[in-house]
Amino acid sequence: MDKLWIFKDRDSLEYEIGVESFLIFAAENSKDPKNIPCPCGRCGNFRKYNVKVIRGHLYEKSFSLGYTDWIWHGETSSKSVRSSAGSTFLPKEQNAQSKTVDVCEAAYNSDDHDSYNFNRFIADAKQPLYKGSECTKLESILKLHNWKSKCGISDNAFTDLLSFLPQDHVLSINACEAKQTLSDLGLEYIKFYACPNNCILYRGINLNASECPKYCLSRRKVMKDGKLRVNRPAKVIWYFPIISRFKRMFNSSDTAEQLIWHSKQQSNDGQMRHPADSPSWRNIDYRWPSFASDPRNLRLALGADGINPFNNGLSNRYSCWPVVLVAYNLPPWLCMKRKFIMLSILIPGPHEPGNDIDVY
């Protein structure tokens, strides 16, 4: 179906015919005609309306420029191609414009084209910020959030900034919607309160405890004058769920095949090329034969080290500890790729947890 009418003037007959053909197609392929994703430049398929409302939006705010494959309305994508690694990439002429496609593939299954979230982010990674822009919608949101976090900008100030931008952009209209975009991308986290001395987490039997049972330290932050800050915990650690990321790895047929490489393609010439050649790997196979019988069971390496996030060069008194996981099931040329190194826990300072890191 020819979609060049998307770039035509909204007052032209060709644009009107194209809009009506799209609405007929969307209504025929929709499960609920009253809740169809609106592809206008402002809604960007985030909001759902009936045909009448969508028609008004398409004439008022125009069609989303990057949405040439109607993947959210029942059409199969035809522009994406498969690479030898099993990832979905754009054609070469569009690859430079959509550098954030790799972010989408890391968060969602690259083979599941029926996934609403995956298709939405692929479209956002291809959609220009405004007509003629080389920067995409998703890339702009990521950069703005990075700037917001780096400079400590509040949500209200971020929303005001978005309202000051020209009206022809396709970004979110407020900070809440922008956060929801990144949350759907798979960047969610869970916060747990902890004792400043790293002896317990305030969860489970200690969920409602007001102080640490070992050191009798308050759960809340104590100010210099001895008063407690009611709404401010003494220490917070960030946990990034890993189960969903494991599922996404196995959702891709090519990645799932690479995860059993150690059992099918590993050589037995006595040379050390992979952790599967080590005595520790064989020791696990010997001690837990039921676990070793299924090559899909993940064997993870856990690593932690202290960093100074402030990097001011004047003091090393503050030490923040990230805890990362590496899947050793993968072949050696993929084990240490950034895509497969997972940040699981972030333990703030100011002091290193030492052996008490076992609590986390």
Instruction: Provide DSSP, 95-106.
Output: HTT-TTHHHHHH
User: Using alpha carbons only, what angle is made at residue 164 by residues 159 and 167, rounded to the nearest 5 degrees?
Assistant: 110
Query: Residue type at 79?
Result: K
What pLDDT is recorded for position 186? 64
What pLDDT is recorded for position 116? 56
State yes or no: pLDDT of 85 exceeds 50: no
CB contact set of 166 (below 8 Å; sequence gap of 6+):
130
Q: Which one is predicted more confidently, 198 or 268? A: 198
State yes or no: pLDDT of 345 exceeds 50: yes
Phi, psi of 236 (to 5 degrees): -130, 135
Return the CA Rg of the chain. 25
State yes or no: pLDDT of 269 exceeds 60: yes
CB contact set of 273 (below 8 Å; sequence gap of 6+):
267, 332
State yes or no: pLDDT of 22 exceeds 50: yes
Q: For 165-193, write each residue's pLDDT tens digit.
A: 776 677 777 788 777 766 666 667 888 88
What pLDDT is recorded for position 79? 43
39: preceding bond cis by omega (within 30 degrees): no
Task: Tell me the C-alpha distance between 332 and 342, whole Å.
Answer: 16
Q: Which one is predicted more confidently, 94 or 175? A: 175
Mean pLDDT score across all residues of the chain: 77
What pLDDT is recorded for position 325? 92
Most confident of 3-12, 87-96, 120-129: 3-12
Task: Tell me the C-alpha distance between 203 and 274, whole Å.
Answer: 38
Q: For 152-165, write each residue's pLDDT tens digit.
A: 888 888 888 877 77
State yes or no: pLDDT of 296 exceeds 50: yes
- The region of weakest confidence among 5-19, 163-177, 268-282, 296-310 is 163-177
State both tokens at 100: 């954030």
State yes or no: pLDDT of 92 exceeds 70: no
What pLDDT is recorded for position 114? 41
Contact assessment for residue 128 and residue 66, using Cβ atoms and an 8 Å cutoff: yes
State yes or no: pLDDT of 89 exceeds 70: no
Question: What is the pTM (predicted TM-score) of this model?
Answer: 0.56
Q: Give buried/exposed letters for 238-271 (b at 16+ CB in 10 A, else e).
A: ebbeeeebbebbebbeebeebbebbeeeeeeeee
Most confident of 53-57, 60-64, 246-250: 53-57
CA 97 to chain CA centroid, Å, is: 20
Residue 324: pLDDT band by 50, 70, 90 thresholds? Answer: very high
What pLDDT is recorded for position 83? 36
Q: Which one is predicted more confidently, 224 or 325? A: 325
